[in-house]
A and B are shown apart, each in its own frame.
Chain A
Amino acid sequence: EVQLVESGGGLVQSGGSLRLSCAGSEFTVSSDYMTWVRQAPGKGLEWVSVIYGGGATYYADSVKGRFTISRDNSKNTVYLQMNSLRVEDTAVYYCARAGPLVRGVIKGSGAFDFWGQGTMVTVSS
């Protein structure tokens, strides 16, 4: 069965950095659209970034220039490098997949058919 396992969350001071990892199993991350979605405590879901195809990437305006999504095909793993962290970046970060059946017509867009368990990032002031 398809699985996504995130790691790398933790407590960091404002201005600091963290790198999140999302390891996929039973599918190939380079063949699907891989996304990071976050959820601040008690709040709704917010799209953060997507990587797909040959390595094309997109970012939400709130993280552009600070976060970088990447992947290592040999490890079947997607990463989210988070720099210049702010208190408002505090959230549970989920890795999610948009498989072939649930993609949209625009490249990089889709619904998310599999999600990781989430990893908590806390940014203190």
Chain B
Amino acid sequence: DIQMTQSPSTQSASEGDRVTITCRASQNINNWLAWYQQKPGKAPKLLIYKASSLESGVPSRFSGSGFGTQFTLTISSLQPDDFATYYCQQYSTYSVTFGQGTKVDI
């Protein structure tokens, strides 16, 4: 299986901050990379697919970049609703795998 490694595991930030989360794949996945936001007790929500495509309805302060094995999720100006856990996911194979998650908190 392809291993996905996120960093950091926890990110302390304040409203208005620019936040960057990194995801590294154990092998080349081209741009088959998605990002999700999950809040406690809720299902994950798709933010970004194909590394940089913004899912419909997701605010433009979220952006994704990268190709191959290195990827980044950026929140340009953190809003109160953005405090959550974020996961990356590779889908270059049917056996998709997720990163371990990054919790963004105050």
- A and B physically associate: yes
Interface residues of A (CB under 8 A from B): 35, 44-47, 50, 58, 60, 94, 96, 98, 101-102, 104-113, 115-118
Whether A110 and B87, one on each chain, are in contact in the complex, defined by CB atoms closer than 8 angstroms, is: no
Asked if B78 CB lies within 8 Å of chain A CBs, one says no
Contact among B32, B43, B89 for A115, CB-based, below 8 A: B43
Whether B87 and A44, one on each chain, are in contact in the complex, defined by CB atoms closer than 8 angstroms, is: yes
Whether A106 and B92, one on each chain, are in contact in the complex, defined by CB atoms closer than 8 angstroms, is: yes
Give 25 A-B contacts (CB < 8 Å), ordered by A residue. Answer: A44-B87, A44-B99, A44-B100, A45-B87, A45-B89, A45-B98, A47-B97, A60-B95, A98-B91, A102-B49, A102-B50, A104-B32, A104-B91, A105-B92, A107-B94, A108-B94, A109-B92, A109-B93, A111-B50, A111-B89, A111-B91, A112-B46, A113-B46, A113-B55, A118-B43
Whether A44 and B32, one on each chain, are in contact in the complex, defined by CB atoms closer than 8 angstroms, is: no
* Chain B residues in 8 Å Cβ range of A98: 91
Asked if B104 CB lies within 8 Å of chain A CBs, one says no
Contact among B46, B99, B100, B101 for A111, CB-based, below 8 A: B46
* Chain B residues in 8 Å Cβ range of A109: 32, 91-94, 96
Whether A58 and B95, one on each chain, are in contact in the complex, defined by CB atoms closer than 8 angstroms, is: yes
Asked if B16 CB lies within 8 Å of chain A CBs, one says no
- Looking at the assembled complex, report how far the CB atom of A123 sits from the nearest CB atom of chain B, in whole angstroms: 21
Whether B44 and A112, one on each chain, are in contact in the complex, defined by CB atoms closer than 8 angstroms, is: yes
Whether B101 and A44, one on each chain, are in contact in the complex, defined by CB atoms closer than 8 angstroms, is: yes
- Looking at the assembled complex, report how far the CB atom of B12 sits from the nearest CB atom of chain A, in whole angstroms: 20
- Looking at the assembled complex, report how far the CB atom of B24 sits from the nearest CB atom of chain A, in whole angstroms: 15
Task: Identify the closest chain B residue to A116 (Cβ).
Answer: B43
Asked if B34 CB lies within 8 Å of chain A CBs, one says yes
* Chain B residues in 8 Å Cβ range of A108: 94
User: In the assembly, what is the distance between CA of A44 and CA of B98, in Å?
Assistant: 8
Whether A104 and B92, one on each chain, are in contact in the complex, defined by CB atoms closer than 8 angstroms, is: yes
Interface string of B20-38 (1 = CB under 8 A from A): 0000000000001010100
User: In the assembly, what is the distance between CA of A51 and CA of B74, in Å?
Assistant: 32
* Beyond known contacts A45-B44, A106-B92, A111-B34: 20 more, CB 8 A cutoff: A44-B87, A44-B98, A44-B100, A45-B101, A60-B95, A94-B43, A94-B44, A101-B49, A102-B50, A104-B32, A104-B91, A105-B32, A105-B92, A106-B94, A109-B94, A111-B50, A112-B46, A113-B49, A116-B43, A117-B43
